[in-house]
């Protein structure tokens, strides 16, 4: 189905951590329904995951 303009306006943009080095991979983190992508940002940063794989762009959509 094609989204209407009003449906597109109601969509929440995903939270993104850009790659800190040359971007060669992307990880889309799918999580539970009714969860917000931004809540997972702290979890990933707490474990320094983005720093350990600097070529990865992390994408956290909102469910």
Buried b / exposed e along 32-45 (16+ C-beta atoms within 10 A) = eeeeebeebbeebe
Can you give the pLDDT at residue 41?
83
The total of structural domains in the chain comes to 1
3 within a domain of the structure (yes/no): no
Q: Which helix (H) or strand (E) holds 28?
A: strand 25-28
23 within a domain of the structure (yes/no): yes
24 within a domain of the structure (yes/no): yes
Supply the range of the domain harboring residue 36. Answer: 12-60
Can you give the pLDDT at residue 1?
61
pLDDT along the chain (63 residues), means of 10: 76 90 96 82 86 94 83
């Amino acid at each position: 189905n094609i989204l209407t303009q009003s449906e597109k306006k109601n969509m929440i943009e995903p939270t993104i951590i850009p790659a800190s080095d040359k971007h060669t991979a992307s990880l889309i983190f799918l999580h539970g329904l009714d969860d917000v992508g931004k809540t997972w940002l702290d979890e990933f940063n707490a474990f320094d995951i983005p720093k350990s794989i600097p070529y990865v762009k992390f994408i956290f959509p909102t469910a």
